[in-house]
């Protein structure tokens, strides 16, 4: 088990991303070591398990485990991961329980050599695809969408392969029947492939990594991973695109026609992506600052100082301060060395709750009217204790401003966005939430304000998925899906309880 139940309850009230993926094809390098550092940069996208699979052109090698990247990998277990091809994964479980059998990458042996897959997203028709595999006699050992994808890619495409394995055709055949969100990195004996679903729901980008004058290329969920290993950003993988990285360079083709209007998850801008990443040609940090500026214009407050919930809401708080003229300062000091731990707390520590992660800076708070900017409120289970912490530190008033709209709908495309019953904005009005959390006032950014901030620096309106705010899903989700989701949840609970 990764951490403990009390930690899940006490985590910051945030949705959690499914995972981060990375791929590399570069001669004369320790691909596994570069993958390690890239995963380290993508750690924010998943903290439950991590893994790396490599290939030297003949055999494939794999190491994965539960925990943070730095907990899973050591010099000793990185050394056997030989080869110039590698894929990596860091995971937070959404589809599939938090268990080693669901850790990625998946690596299997096929008639044409090794096949490894790492996946970010959720397939909305996975139960149908899973049933088809079982009907064919394919055995499955986990509840993860990603194992289903791996087994589907292991089979030849409907037209056969008269000239040997055609991995691009296999991927296209998968894309023809898959529904939902998927950004994939795929490892074969001779190449690394990158694939993005036709909606572009999850991010994926391509970078260049020259080694001793020879070209090398990498794929990553976010551009922040590229700079960490010295790679340069080339472009984003297009929705519906298949990219092959091999000794001859980069080969791109369309595996599925992109949708007329793409649907990158807008929560990447609100919270998921690292602020130093680039999405759709614009800085995530700058977009978050614009979110705060829009929020200040829509929901001003009479206050003395502006604070942000560290660290994710800091850019929005800076934007709010700039637009409002109220000075920005620090009021909550985050203990950055407290993360997930395997050590169980005693009852006294458990009762401390949010104080394990934050301390109030009383010198800045005493007698002050405070605007506390947060990027999202999902379950509403930590913002209340944080407000009490500020009052204990001497704040006279606490006005909460949220730089995204109320989250009223769950996500089925790879984000742990709770259920309807757990979403406080689905059950309660804004005034009821304000009373519940104990704020002097509470206001959210409007959906129109969110769109203005996101589109403010974009070259064009490419379209985004904002279903968690609006309930309008880009992929059709009829009533049967909700029933299937309950069946799937029960299935995962059975698998999660097995050892």
In the chain, the largest separation of any two C-alpha atoms, in whole Å, equals 77
What's the CA gap between 51 and 425, in Å, rounded?
A: 36
Encode pLDDT of 326-340 as tens digits. 999 999 998 876 655
Does 278-469 match 5-262 at the fold level? no
pLDDT at 60 over 50: yes
Lowest mean pLDDT among 244-258, 261-275, 307-321, 407-421: 407-421
Q: What percent of the chain has pLDDT over 70?
A: 86
Reported as a pLDDT band with limits 50, 70 and 90, residue 162 is: confident
Mean pLDDT of all residues in the chain? 88
Answer yes or no: is pLDDT of 341 > 60: no
Confidence (pLDDT) at 459: 60
Please tell me which residue in 19, 205, 265, 468 is annotated as part of the active site. Answer: 19
Has residue 367 got a pLDDT over 80?
yes
Average pLDDT over residues 269-295: 96
What are the distances in angstroms from CA 29 to CA 25, 54, 249? 9, 12, 16
Highest mean pLDDT among 124-138, 373-387, 394-408: 394-408
pLDDT at 24: 98
Q: Which residues neighbour 61 within 8 Å (Cβ) at sequence distance 6 or greater? A: 32, 53, 54, 55, 80, 81, 82, 83
Residue 55: active-site member: no
Look at residue 481 in the predicted model and tell me its pLDDT. Answer: 52
**Residue 195, beta-bridge partner list:** 184, 242
Give the sheet arrangement for strand 441-444, strand by strand.
Answer: 305-308, 369-374, 397-402, 441-444
Pick the CATH number of 278-469 from 3.30.1390.20, 3.40.50.150, 3.40.50.2000, 3.40.50.2020: 3.40.50.2020
- 341 or 163, higher pLDDT: 163
pLDDT of residue 344: 53
Over residues 166-190, the mean pLDDT reads: 97
Q: pTM here?
A: 0.90
Residue 99 has what pLDDT? 72
Q: Does the structure show a pLDDT above 50 at 68? A: yes
Report the pLDDT value the prediction gives residue 480, as an integer from 0 to 100. Answer: 47
Indicate whether 463 pLDDT > 80: yes
pLDDT at 10: 42
Q: What are phi and psi of 144, to 5 degrees?
A: -85, 140
Q: Where exactly are the structural domains of the chain?
A: 5-262, 278-469
How far apart are the C-alpha atoms of 241 and 193, rounded to whole Å?
10
Task: Say whether pLDDT at 384 is over 60.
Answer: yes
> Residue 440: CA atoms inside 13 Å, Cβ hemisphere, count?
15
Range with lowest mean pLDDT among 126-130, 143-147, 445-449, 483-487: 483-487
Instruction: Report the C-alpha gap between 479 and 483 in whole angstroms.
Output: 7
Q: What is the pLDDT of residues 426-437, one digit of tens each?
A: 999 999 999 999
Record the tokens describing residue 408, joined without a space: 């009223």
Of 29 and 421, which is predicted with more confidence? 29
Higher pLDDT residue, 67 or 18?
67
349 confidence band (pLDDT: 50, 70, 90): low
Q: CA-CA distance, 198 to 263, in Å (whole number)?
A: 9
pLDDT the model gives residue 348: 61
Does pLDDT of 355 surpass 80?
no
Place domain 5-262 in its CATH homologous superfamily: Aminohydrolase, N-terminal nucleophile (Ntn) domain (3.60.20.10)
């Amino acid at each position: 088990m990764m951490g403990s139940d009390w930690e899940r309850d006490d985590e910051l009230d945030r949705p959690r991303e499914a995972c981060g993926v990375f791929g590399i094809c570069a001669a004369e390098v320790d691909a596994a070591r570069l993958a390690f550092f890239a995963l380290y940069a993508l750690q924010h996208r998943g903290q439950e398990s991590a893994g790396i699979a490599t290939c030297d052109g003949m055999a494939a090698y794999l190491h994965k485990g539960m925990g943070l990247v730095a907990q899973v990998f050591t010099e000793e277990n990185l050394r056997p991961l030989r080869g110039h091809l590698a894929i990596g994964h860091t995971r937070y479980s959404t589809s599939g329980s938090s268990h080693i059998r669901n850790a990625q990458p998946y690596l299997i042996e096929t008639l044409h050599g090794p096949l490894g897959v790492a996946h970010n997203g959720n397939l909305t028709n996975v139960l149908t695809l899973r049933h088809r595999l079982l009907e064919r006699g394919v055995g499955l050992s986990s509840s993860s969408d990603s194992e289903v994808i791996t087994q589907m890619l292991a089979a030849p495409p409907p037209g056969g392969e008269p000239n040997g394995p055609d991995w691009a055709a296999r991927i296209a055949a998968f894309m023809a029947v898959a529904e939902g969100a998927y950004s994939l990195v795929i490892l074969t004996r001779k190449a690394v492939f990158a694939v993005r679903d036709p909606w572009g729901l999850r991010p994926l980008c391509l970078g260049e990594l020259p080694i001793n004058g020879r070209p090398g290329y990498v794929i990553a969920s976010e551009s922040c991973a590229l700079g960490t290993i010295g790679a340069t950003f080339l472009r984003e993988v297009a929705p519906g695109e298949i990219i092959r990285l091999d000794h001859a360079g980069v080969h791109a083709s369309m595996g599925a026609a992109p949708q007329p209007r793409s649907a990158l998850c807008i929560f990447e801008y609100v919270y998921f992506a690292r602020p130093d990443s680039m999405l759709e040609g614009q800085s995530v940090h700058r977009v978050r600052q614009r979110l705060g500026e829009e929020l200040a214009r829509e929901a001003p407050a009479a206050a003395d100082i502006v604070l942000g919930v560290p660290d994710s809401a800091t850019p929005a708080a800076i934007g709010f301060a700039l637009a409002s003229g109220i000075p920005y300062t620090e009021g909550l000091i985050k203990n950055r060395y407290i993360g997930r731990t395997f050590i169980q707390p005693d009852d006294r520590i458990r009762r401390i709750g949010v104080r394990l992660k934050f301390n109030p800076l009383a010198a800045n708070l005493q007698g002050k009217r405070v605007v506390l900017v947060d990027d999202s409120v999902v379950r509403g289970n930590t913002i209340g204790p944080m407000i009490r912490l500020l009052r204990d530190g001497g704040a006279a008033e606490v006005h909460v401003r949220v730089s995204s709209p109320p989250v009223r709908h769950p996500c089925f495309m790879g984000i742990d966005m709770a259920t309807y019953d757990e979403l406080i904005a689905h059950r309660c009005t804004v005034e009821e939430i304000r009373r519940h959390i104990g704020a002097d006032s509470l206001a959210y950014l409007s959906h129109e304000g969110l769109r203005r901030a996101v589109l403010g620096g974009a070259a064009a309106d490419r379209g985004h998925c904002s279903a968690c705010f609006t309930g309008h899903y880009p992929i059709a989700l009829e009533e049967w899906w909700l029933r299937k989701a309950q069946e799937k949840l029960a299935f995962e609970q059975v698998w999660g309880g097995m050892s």
